[in-house]
Structure 1
Amino acid sequence: MRHTPSFALTEVAAIKRLIRENPWATLVSHTDSGELVASHYPVILEESGEGASDGAAEDIVLVSHVGRPDEQLHELGRHELLLIIQGPHGYISPGWYDAKPAVPTWNFVTAHLTGTPELLSDDENLRVLDRLVDNFEDRMREPRRLNATVANSEYAARIVQGTVGFRLRVTRFTAKNKMSQNRPVETVERIIGELEGSGPYASPTLAAEMRRVHGAGPADGTPVGIPARGGAE
């Protein structure tokens, strides 16, 4: 990924937030045969205990699973794995800029995380699957837990054989948060307004990420100097 200092995302806490809010990951392996293999799975953080630091790549630990035979295709555990997290992103029209002429761009936030996976035992894999299900079911009105009933538990114990769990301790990462930091505040306001609008490239989630990047504001996340669409000027 091209390195642009003004867009670099280096804080481990920010990377963890990105993972929590965007848990659908792309897994990429360069196998011994020279083949590139890519798969897509949800991931969750193995959260640090109280007092743990948030300053180094090693503080980012992910757990998940792959479905068989992906563990063979990736040669999981034999070499490094690249795990990609993609956050809010979208097209930015040159018509939203003050400058003329201008060219379009794409705003985005993404992280490339590298480490060698540690394969989990069936028991630990089942515990991770349980946590993974809870992570997403917690926000449901009537959560369906993996071990909510005896029948569910028995079913989960059978299907776990079709998956291989892993833990990824990140050894290094590269991340980028490109949110028009190189544009004047008036242009940023216009871009956010368009993203919060009803046009073909509207993206409320990208607008919210831009607000986060461009300064802390009221409790609704509105940065100082950038009013929310429809709010007071």
Structure 2
Amino acid sequence: MRRTPHYLLDDRDEVRRLIRENPWATIVSHVEGAGIVASHYPVLLDEQASVGDEIVLVSHVGRPDEELHRLGTTEVLVIIQGPHGYISPSWYDDDAVIPTWNHVTAHLYGVPEILDDAENFRILAELTDHFEQHVADPRSLALDEEYSRRVARGTVGLRLRVTRIDARLKLSQNKPAEVVARIVNQLDGDGPYAHDGLAREMRRVHDPRHS
């Protein structure tokens, strides 16, 4: 990503928040003989496995994606995409003509560790419980463990210790306060580019009272 200094996101706690709130990730590999390979899977932070300020992700892929990516042998890129949206120049002032796109994005790099079957099933169960906790009638893999374990054999678990981070908060930090206020007001409205999630991210950056 373009390294514009005032958009850099160096706060690892904010990167963790971004992962927690946006767990649907893109996994990208460059594989000799195959070129660029991309897949999409949910990820979770592995807080127990992290050491110090380390960021550790756990996930799984469906077979044969582990072979397509050559997982465990080369570095992968995991892209976390937070709220993003079109910003019209009409929200700036009467003379503005150049639009932009605001976004919150993190690129996370590392060589994944392949999990054994037992740990993969444990992670799959945790992943299910993590998302099921928010529904009225939550389900668990433990309700039919024998069947769940058979299905799990079609997946490969992985743990990624992040060795490099390239993250951005591009949220109109280069605009004066009155323009930022107009942008947030438009994002909070009911127009074609309204986006309450992006409005919340802008308030976090421009007005810490809303964090």
- TM-score, length-scaled by structure 1: 0.87
Inter-partner Cα distance in structure 2 for 1:99 and 1:106:
19
Indicate the residue corresponding to 2:33 in structure 1: 33
Give distance in 1, aligned partners of 2:70 and 2:49.
31
Is 1:131–2:131 an aligned residue pair? no
1:13-66 CA distance string (max 9 Å, x none): 11100000000000000002151000000000001489x633xxxx10000000
Aligned pair 1:183/2:178, yes or no? Answer: no
Give 3-state SS (helix, strand or coil) of 2:81's partner. Answer: strand
Partner Cα separation in structure 1 for residue 176 and residue 49 of structure 2: 41
What is residue 226 of structure 1 aligned with on the other side?
Answer: none
| 2:166 is the counterpart of 1:174 | yes
| Residues 1:99 and 1:80: Cα distance change in structure 2 (over 3 Å) | farther
**Residue ranges of structure 1 left out of the alignment (5+ in a row):** 223-233
Residues 140-219 of structure 1: pairs in structure 2 closer than 5 A: 140-147=135-142, 149=143, 152-217=144-209
**Aligned-residue offset at 1:100:** 1.5
1:77 and 2:72 equivalent? yes
Residue 95 (str. 1) matches residue 87 (str. 2): no
- Report the aligned-residue RMSD: 1.4
SS at match of 2:136: coil
Distance 1:101 1:19 in 2: 34
**Runs of 5+ in structure 2 lacking a partner?**
none
Superposition map of 1:56-75 within 5 A? 59-75=54-70
**TM value normalised by structure 2:** 0.96
- Number of the residue aligned with 1:86: 81
Matches within 5 A, 1:35-50: 35-48=35-48
CA distance in 2, matches of 1:4, 1:34: 32
| 3-state SS in 1 of match to 2:41 | strand
Partner of 2:18: 18
Contact kept, 8 Å, 2:9 with 2:168, in 1: the verdict is yes
Which amino acid in the other structure matches residue 208 of structure 1?
R
Q: Render the CA deviation track for 1:81-139: whole Å, top value 9, x for unaligned.
A: 00000000000000000262330000000000000000000000000001100110111
Amino acid at match of 2:157: G
Give yes or no for contact 2:49–2:56 (8 Å, CA) kept in 1: no
Q: Name the SS of the counterpart of 2:208 in structure 1.
A: coil
Q: How many residues align?
A: 211
